[in-house]
Amino acid sequence: QSLDELADSIRVQGLVQPIVVRPIDGGRYEIIAGERRWRASKIAGLDTIPVIVRDVSDRSAIAMALIENVQRENLNPMEEANALQRLVDEFSMTHQEAAEAVGRSRAAVSNLLRLRNLNDGVKRLVENGDLEMGHARALLALESDAQSEAANTVVEKGLSVRETEQLIRRILNPGKEKEQPSDALLDELDKIETLIGSKLSSKFALKHSATGKGKLVIDYSNMDDLKKLITKFK
């Protein structure tokens, strides 16, 4: 929703959700949450708007602003992923805590955070709207260089998410192009990847062959990461 559209809505209905501010020096107030609503209210010509005043620390103010940012409807997946990562890194939140803070499922948050494992070129395609969340998730199964080549193919040919998943599986299993997995199997593998993604914060790849065999590869950066992974399986 653009600012002008939001302003039109506010003209008709008023500002339904108050903005949140905190007092700062000089009798002034700093907006913590609701800057877009404030800007749209100015466009709509409102002289006064409802405000909630909270006396919060700098740290809490940043967390509140990040949470509202994630909850906006017009963010692209990479923007959501980056904001969620800040909540995890700067406020020591677990994936579950971040999910509760922004009103998402843990699986959705984990899948978004995994997008940060894409290479920079593919991230830009997601940011620009050339690739959807489903495309990006499928590309995570590939190494960095292969991600770029596959992503370009997806964009150039306008592949659907399902077609992208099939492309990735052909890349991972060369020589087996004629053996296409059934839709039921693809759905089942997608559910399994979502389940694994909800449990792990590490990059992983689920590789399934036409024979029914496969492997799950989980990346870790150091021994501490490995120990954390091990605790998740106990």
Catalytic residues: 35
For residue 17, the SS3 value is coil
Give every CB contact of residue 7 below 8 A, 6+ residues apart in sequence: 40, 41, 43, 44
Q: Is 51 helix (H, G, I), strand (E, B) or coil?
A: strand
> Phi/psi of residue 114, each to 5°?
-65, -25
Angle at 12 between CA 8 and CA 15, to 5 degrees: 85
CA 145 to chain centre: 22
- Cα–Cα distance for residue pair 72/49, rounded to 1 Å: 20
